[in-house]
Amino acid sequence: MSNIDNKKILSLKYAKAFVNLYIENISQESFENIKKLENFFDTHKKAIYFLSVPNIKKETKSKLLNEIFEKFKLSDLLAPLVKVLAQQKRLFLINIILKDIRLLYKERKNIMTFKVLSSHQINSQDLDIIENFLENKTGKKIIYYYNMDKSLIAGIKLQSSTLLWEYSIFKQCENLRKQFDI
Amino acid sequence: MEIKNTDLVSLFEQSLKDVPQEKLEEIGIVVKVGDNICQVHGLTNAEYNELIEFEGGNKGIIFNLDEESVDVFLLDNNISVAELEIAKRTGSVLKTPVGKNFLGRVINALGKPIDALGEIIPDSYEPIEAAVPSIIERSPVNQSLETGILAIDALIPIGKGQRELIIGNRSTGKSAIAIDTILHQKNQNVICIYVSIGLRQANLAKTVKLLEENGALNYTVIISADSGEAVLNQYLAPYVGCTIGEYFMHQGKDVLIIYDDLSNHAIAFREMSLLLRRAPGREAYPGDVFYLHSRLLERAGKLLNGGSLTALPIIQTQSDDISAYIPTNLISITDGQIILDTQLFNQGIRPAINVELSVSRVGGAAQTKAIKKVTKALRLELAQYHELLDFSQFGTELDESSQKQLKRGSFAVEILKQPQFRTYSFVDQCLILFALKENYLDNLQLKNVQSFIVQFTSYVKSVYPNIYKKIYETQDISDDTMHNLKEIANEFKRIFVPEDQI
């Protein structure tokens, strides 16, 4: 088994334990903040590298993490996790654990996240209709992130990590292109 | 007329109101791409072997299902697949176009024409992995499929619906036997399918030209997955060929399919399995390599509705080692094997069939009565000849009967020699074997045997067409016909002039 696989298995164990204990403490806002934190770690790879350097003291690493979490208003929620990880010298797993926590939380709370893209601005009423539509289709609670996407030409696209609903001119053009094998 | 952007939008909004409640498509996101294989996160309900479509236009087949992701092998290595690209389920396995319009055409493993003769309009699309016909649907193999090669038709007869392996080292004439068999099917109402797996394009071009020149392309479909193509295509090609063959078989037609060769197929599958990180077994092949070929060859057979699919898989051995993994697998799957011998090939005995080791498990059931009558003792005679030949090499003095046996054996070997692209009809074969059986060759010089048999068959055909026709129609040699043939042979022997004396 590769090193990456080992990391994944280990991270999942920590995430499961955390979610089992603190699921009720995770609010909608903290869920959003965990996502932002994930993005932060994805764009600041050096932070993870810093956490994996063995000759930096665990207190220093914990302090750094707590400061970052403070910025995302997550220090209270994640403090116990940081403590355990620091004790077991596995702070460098934090970014993978956060991803797993979010996925497990979504699974347990029956939540599905969708990207809603439209060629033109959609008002809040229409967004509610879309939310209802998705809830009916999936049977899950929907959290959506709305953006405009001119490349659709005209139309709408609803996309999660496993589902897609698209009705746009762009898609119809693509279908025509495939039909004519261009 | 000028159309304003706002008009378009309102028009579109109008049409959106009437949008049918389309289903949510199941998708996945490409997380890893490399070696023509990609890992897709999502696709939670996808099935094994399901066809997947990528946003960029490529397609692939699922080969591994994991908890969070699936591994997809790509069909086209010219269309790139990017990380984070969307992959959609199609809900169906890979289907290949089939139909009568494929006759005379050269296609790739996806059923697309590669002979620059334009599009092919298929009759239908069929899944490439189909259930094998059940026992109730099958009929026993009891009808001969002539190859036109005397050594095979006389000693290792192939029946319609049989699976006969052609096995030998490189350059021993394996493909030549297959091509000769295709050429011989002209006017025999047999549809031929030639599947080329991992061969060079130049070789295939030569084969296509040869079939075309001999008028054999009209009843042949060629499926090519050359060595430069994606490994998945090499894996798929035999299944696609088999599906096209089955289409004709289910219409009650006789089909001959040649897999040239399944060693390359197994190698392609090994490559795929290793890339998928499946556990390697013997010779690094995966555990299910037997199933790979058994499920393909089990689709051959003769049906009660009259259709048949005869399979001639080809296997290449290394240094005459038929006990290697893939050859032994194929030997156990098929209903017999034609073993080609490098030594015989180098001695000038062509086709270089080792008649002692070759076998057809269907045997006499697939032979006409006429052939059966004249070949009864041939195999035994040849076996005794080879034994005596080994013995005589010690410089031992042989008695008269042994010398006679040696001479007869050498004649038997001589008549089994056959140049490429010259095939014999079963009546010709009967006449040749008759001449040997009734000792009409005994007083000839060995070098004149070939010209004798050629002239004798053509003499009977042109001077006594009624006898020739009678054997052809009854597929038997009656006592009367036997008597007539003896008279004709005596008559011909008197007028026979060897070629070098003409």
Residue-wise pLDDT for A112-154, tens only, equals: 999 999 998 988 888 998 899 889 888 999 999 999 999 999 8
- Mean pLDDT, residues B376-394: 83
Give the end of a domain, one of B76, B93, B110.
B93
- Distance, in Å, from the CA atom of B162 to the CA atom of B302, rounded to the nearest integer, reads 8
Residues in A touching B12 (Cβ below 8 Å): 154-155, 169
Q: What is the mean pLDDT of residues B295-323?
A: 94
Which residues, at least 6 apart from B481, have a Cβ–Cβ distance to it below 8 Å? B467, B470, B471
Q: Which of B62, B93, B124 is the last residue of a domain?
A: B93
Is residue B49 within 8 A of residue B76, CB to CB? The reply is no
Identify whether B64 is part of a domain. yes
Which phi and psi angles does B172 have, rounded to 5°? Answer: -120, 5
- Report the number of distinct structural domains present in chain B: 3
Q: How far is A18 from chain B (nearest CA, A)?
A: 21
B180 lies in the same domain as B324: yes
pLDDT band at A180 (very low <50, low <70, confident <90, very high): confident
At B186 the pLDDT is: 94
Q: Are B374 and B433 in contact (CB under 8 A)?
A: yes
Indicate whether B122 and B187 sit together in one domain: yes
Determine the straight-line distance between the first and last CA of chain A, rounded to whole angstroms: 43
Cα-flanking dihedrals φ and ψ of residue B66, to 5°? -110, 175
> Do residues B228 and B291 both lie within one domain?
yes
In a domain, B14, yes or no: no
Same domain, yes or no: B72 and B134: no
Enumerate the domain spans of chain A: 3-107, 112-179
Q: Look at residue B19 and tell me if it is in a domain.
A: no
Same domain, B77 and B176: no
Beta strands B308-316 and B165-168, pairing class: parallel
Residue with tokens 């023509």: B36
Residue B395, pLDDT score: 65
Indicate whether B461 and B337 sit together in one domain: no
CATH number of the domain that residue B78 is part of: 2.40.30.20
- Residues B36-91: pLDDT tens digits? 899 999 898 999 999 999 988 899 999 999 888 999 999 888 889 999 999 999 99
Here the tokens at position B26 are: 């199941």
Does B174 have pLDDT greater than 90? yes
pLDDT tops 70 at residue B427:
yes
| End-of-domain residue from the set B73, B93, B113 | B93
Please state, in angstroms and as integers, the Cα–Cα distance from residue B123 to each residue in A4, A157, B111, B248, B299, following that order. 49, 36, 12, 11, 21
* Minimum Cα–Cα distance from A119: chain B residue: B9
Q: Quote ipTM for the complex.
A: 0.72
Residue B36 to residue B77: CA distance in whole angstroms: 6
**Which chain B residues contact residue A135 at CB under 8 A?**
none
CB B449 within 8 A of CB B414: yes
Q: Which residues pair with B95 in a beta bridge?
A: B127
Looking at the structure, tell me whether residues B345 and B412 fall in a common domain. Answer: no
Distance of residue A168 Cα from the nearest chain B Cα, in angstroms = 9
The 10s digit of each residue's pLDDT in B91-132 is: 999 999 999 999 999 999 999 999 999 999 999 999 999 888
- Closest chain B C-alpha to A1 CA, distance in angstroms: 11
DSSP letter string, B170-224: TTSSHHHHHHHHHHHTTTTTEEEEEEEES--HHHHHHHHHHHHHTT-GGGEEEEE
Beta-strand relationship, B106-108 and B220-225: parallel
Residue B7 covered by a domain: no
What CATH number has the domain bearing residue B283?
3.40.50.300
Q: Which candidate, B230, B250, B45, places its Cα nearest to that of B137?
A: B250
Rounded to whole angstroms, the Cα distance separating B112 from B223 reads: 9
Closest CB to A155 among B12, B42, B88: B12
Q: Closest Cα to residue B432, out of B443, B418, B445, B447?
A: B418
In a shared domain, residues B389 and B298: no
The reply to whether B17 falls in a domain is no
Cβ contact, residue pair A154, B8, below 8 Å: yes
**Chain A residues lying within 8 Å of B86, measured CB to CB:** 159, 164
Element (H, E) at B124: strand B124-127
Decide: pTM greater than 0.90.
no
Name, in order, each residue with C-beta under 8 angstroms of B366's C-beta and a sequence gap of 6 or more.
B141, B142, B143, B144, B145, B157, B158, B159, B160, B162, B360
- Between positions 122 and 151 of A, the ones with CB within 8 A of B are 137-138
Mean of pLDDT over chain B: 90
- Interface residues of B toward A, Cβ cutoff 8 Å, are 8-9, 12, 16, 19, 22, 24-29, 41-44, 57, 86, 88
Measured CA to CA in angstroms, residue B138 lies from A122, B249, B394 at distances of 63, 12, 52
| B73 inside domain | yes
Same domain, B88 and B235: no
Residue B289 and residue B178 share a domain = yes
Please determine, for residue B21, whether its predicted confidence score (pLDDT) is greater than 80: no
Range of the domain at B450: 372-501
What percent of chain B stands above pLDDT 90? 74
Mean pLDDT, all residues of chain A = 88
- B41 shares a domain with B172: no
Buried b (16+ CB within 10 A) or exposed e, B162-175: bbbbbbbbeebbbb
Instruction: Indicate yes or no: CB of B86 within 8 angstroms of CB of A164.
Output: yes
Measuring CA to CA, which residue among B196, B278, B204 is closest to residue B240? Answer: B196
In this structure, the answer to whether residues B405 and B464 fall within a common structural domain is yes
Whether B144 has a pLDDT exceeding 80, the answer reads: yes
CATH number at residue B490: 1.20.150.20
B405's enclosing H/E stretch is helix B400-416
B105 is catalytic: no
Distances (CA, A) of B184 to B179, B189, B243, B443: 9, 11, 23, 32
Residue B13 lies in a domain: no
State the smallest CA–CA distance between residue A182 and chain B in angstroms: 10
